[in-house]
Amino acid sequence: MADGADGPIGLFRSRRRAYLPLDDGFHVPRSLGRVLRSGRFELRLDTAFDAVVAGCADRPDTWLSPALAEVYGALHAMGRAHSIEAWDDRGLAGGQLGLSLGACWIGESMFHRRPHASNVVLVALQRALKAGGYQLYDVQILNPHLQRFGARDCDDDTWMPQLRRAVAQPALLRLGAAALVSEPWVAG
């Protein structure tokens, strides 16, 4: 994270890690179910990566500095950072910036320009990760919004063995007509 828009980039590790379940523990709020069924948003993968990064950084207090955006751009070029996007008839409505390391998806940040857009991304992504053999959907920090979807957290001793197993396995993310193969990641 960057300490403000122009601050230095630091590396942080949480004592507790939040995740969304990739099983029946995931919950779609009833009101969001209606939006999903309406088909109001078209979901896309990696068609507007820079715009999603910019949308995630566009807030009064941000940890996503221009320097960090460059890092994500380099990770995108390497096939590790991705954008999941919700589009409507007015354009890009919301999205999520994430990292794919083997069978682990790390949701870095989300934004929305229209109501429900980022929540539609969250639900569609969870379903696609589950279908593609992902083992972890890391959302980093537990908050009331994510708890509505069934998010949980665990301590580092529980998290790290799961993370090691997940990143060592391949997975497939298919969203609409696009797909990405997430290769296993081994620390060098």
Under the banding of pLDDT at 50, 70 and 90, the label for residue 26 is: very high
Which residues lie below 8 Å from residue 119, measured CB to CB, with a gap of 6+?
A: 32, 35, 112
Residue 11, pLDDT above cutoff 70: no
Mean pLDDT of 106-128: 94
How many angstroms separate the CA atoms of 41 and 27, rounded? Answer: 20
Section 163-173 average pLDDT: 96
Domains of the chain: 16-175 (3.40.630.70)
The answer to whether residue 38 scores a pLDDT higher than 90 is no
Task: Measure the CA–CA gap between 112 and 115, rounded to whole angstroms.
Answer: 7
Handedness of CA 31, 36, 37, 39 (dihedral sign): positive
Residues 88, 35 contacting (CB under 8 angstroms): no
Phi, psi of 9 (to 5 degrees): -90, 130
pLDDT (mean) for 151-159: 94
- pLDDT for 59-90, tens place per residue? 777 666 787 788 889 999 999 999 999 999 99
- Helix pair 117-131, 30-38: axis angle to 10 deg: 80
d(CA 27, CA 13): 27
Tell me the percentage of the chain whose pLDDT exceeds 90.
70
pLDDT at 137 over 80: yes
3-class state of residue 134 by DSSP: coil
pLDDT at 2 over 70: no
Confirm whether pTM is higher than 0.75: yes
When pLDDT is cut at 50, 70 and 90, the band that residue 48 belongs to is very high
| Contact (CB, 8 A) for 68 and 53 | no
Nearest to 28 by CA among 94, 95, 123: 123
- Of residues 118 and 37, the one with the higher pLDDT is 118
